[in-house]
A and B are shown apart, each in its own frame.
Chain A
């Protein structure tokens, strides 16, 4: 994460951009506009909720969320804790990053562990070894146990069709279920977070960001990321058209050959369903150039779980998924 000093430098670069962005002296660059909106959302939640928490996976979207939260309340501390739903199949680089950030900013980290649920017999391992769908129960039970009333997620509306209709403040019942017909119209910048006891609100400060916005912002703010986002040599094998990392989670199987390739990750999730892409981009600039030229959306390229069916995401959202 950046220090205040590098935020200042980034701000100057932003100024130059802002002045070129339009003829009016009051023009804002699109990144400044998105940043301002996200900060407004964080501060609204701080003002109206008792126990907010930020879902933090160590992936780029949650890293940007935390960075925005730090800026929103500087020079005071972030008035939220963090929650990581740990599938047990995380990349070690990501867990290291998570723990480093938590220590650096003296944050409180809650962990909901899928492995614990499997060990207790409360959840069953799927035959394909994928644990992403198993995250819903530990997440919803942790929210209920800790009585979190606002849960920040890094979801973006551009990611997937069911998310295009998601609200910035998304109401969930006591079972964390999402009912598309119960969502409130969201007008102007007036967010309505009222909810009954036991219910909570999922809040998406990055709703209006695209993947490219997120990367440009990371570059502008010089935000450090886990190494797996940059090109590196890695032993991988091919499954369902994706390069997966070999590991205890269930691969490679018979007929799947491991080879060492130069790859990077565009999203970070469960090892079993997060694919790498061939890449030689070792710097942020190179990554951004690749993404800007890319003809595949990030989920289509790298997330097996969303390909399940046209309505897969809609169904999982209803159950309380992110």
Chain B
């Protein structure tokens, strides 16, 4: 770099936002083709990748390049023609950078969709226009609702096979939106597409003049990714204490962490959990530069006015807005391990930067995602089961409801014996109630990051 002008120009190059989204749908719905089409039509597929796909397609006796092959990863999958795990794809347009968690939609892979949805700002649920909303679609909607994904897109695919008929699309969109709204999904955008022919994926379709909305890519480019954080609980889990103890910085003591929710300002009165001691924010160091205010998901180092005993696993919160600490956690979990979770099992619970011992006290119910029916006291949860659990922890934890804060309301259950991740937990109620919010301010609540 030679001049500040050049620096500013390059900074301009990077002035795009980042959207993380997840896809759900089965091989039969044409999900791989949709993803391949997004990558291909947004010019994110490069010549050598396309050559490899053409080569592999020919080797299998296919006529043209099979775009689904762009996203096939491991040999086991190629041999079985299935997708067995979450794969991450990267593409960009001049307007935005995208991280796509590509998750298989098959019934036994609920855990993969839960994994992909856990970091997503948006979920694309794919249905086949000929089949409409089926059990699997309801399952995908339920996972998106459970994981509190802020934006849901219903992509009604294979419109070319139903003669691009508007009534077919309208009926499916209406049925899905009603169901998702019932689950508390705040926003559904329905788009009629043909991934194979390319209608409404990247380019607007001339076959569906009756549809006036955005293409899938246009919607991905314009959906909001940041939120008004002023109404959110501010939370900073302490990751690491920075103490240089050098001649230049003899007394520097900074608390490093990624802001999990809300905003922090210099001068804020904060409480340290679990000790309950209070102090004020004396300074905020944003990766080498002092700032007056910082917000989620920035990684910062906070300096405090008083010398308190603070270590990894503690949490800084505004003194006016502290979470309740508890040793009894009621939560919804998705069981992600192959061995079942049992009542009485001793586990480790990882919440933000703190890991504590815990016991599974009760498993009050198992949830069937197809119809949201409850199965009382199942005793165990098997792989891909979703259920309610009551967990008792060895130490109090400052948990928020997952509905209020995805980062401070989520936790992992871990097997102390071998470190396996057993379950993904979400504290508080499973689904938002679909009643009309009391006010617009409440509407903003619960969708912070």
Residues of A within 8 A of B (CB): 4, 7-11, 13-14, 16-18, 20-24, 26-37, 39-40, 43-44, 46-47, 71-77, 157-158, 161-162, 164-165, 171, 180, 183-190, 192, 194-196, 207-208, 210, 212-213, 216-217, 219-220, 222, 283-285, 288, 294-297, 300-301, 310-311, 314
Contacts and interface: CB of A to CB of B under 8 A. Distances in A.
A162 B17 contact: no
B242 A73 contact: yes
Contact of A296 (B46, B111, B286): B46
Contacts, number: 252
A157 B252 CA distance: 37
Contacts of B312: 47
Interface residues of B, number: 92
Contacts of B275: none
B252 to A, nearest CB: 6
Given A75-B252, A188-B407, A296 B288 contact: no
Kindly name the residue among B52, B76, B336, B419 whose own CB sees the greatest number of chain A CB atoms within 10 A: B419
B7 A20 contact: no
A39 B287 contact: yes
A31 to B, nearest CB: 5
Nearest to B13: A216
Contact of B406 (A28, A184, A188, A220): A188
B299 A185 contact: no
The DSSP consensus for interface residues of chain B is: mixed
Contacts of A27: 17, 225-226
Interface in B1-40: 1-2, 4, 6-18
A235 to B, nearest CB: 26
B299 A72 contact: yes
A216 B18 CA distance: 14
A161 B73 contact: yes
Contact of B118 (A24, A26, A164, A187): A187
Contact of B298 (A32, A185, A219, A301): A32
Contacts of B242: 73-76
B57 interface: no
A20 B10 CA distance: 13
Interface string B120-164: 000000000000000000000000000000000000000000000
Given A7-B288, A157-B88, A26 B227 contact: yes
Q: Pick the 10 closest A-B CB pairs, nearest first.
A: A300-B48, A194-B419, A13-B11, A30-B18, A76-B244, A39-B299, A17-B15, A24-B226, A30-B97, A43-B239
Contacts of B87: 164-165
Given A75-B252, A295-B46, A31 B14 contact: yes
Kindly name the residue among A34, A165, A188, A217 whose own CB sees the greatest number of chain B CB atoms within 10 A: A188
Given A4-B288, A162-B74, A300-B49, A26 B228 contact: yes
16 contacts: A11-B286, A11-B289, A20-B15, A26-B226, A30-B16, A30-B97, A33-B18, A74-B288, A165-B73, A189-B119, A192-B350, A208-B88, A210-B92, A296-B46, A296-B47, A310-B56
B418 interface: yes
A255 B33 CA distance: 45
B239 A219 contact: no
Nearest to A23: B224
Contacts of A22: 17, 224-226
Contacts of A184: 420-421
A188 B351 CA distance: 11
Interface in B348-379: 348, 350, 352-353
B329 interface: no
Interface string B264-296: 000000000000000000000111110000011
A185 B421 contact: yes
Contact of B7 (A4, A10, A30, A212): A10
Contacts of A217: 14
Nearest to A299: B48
Nearest to A208: B99
Contacts of A13: 4, 7-8, 10-11
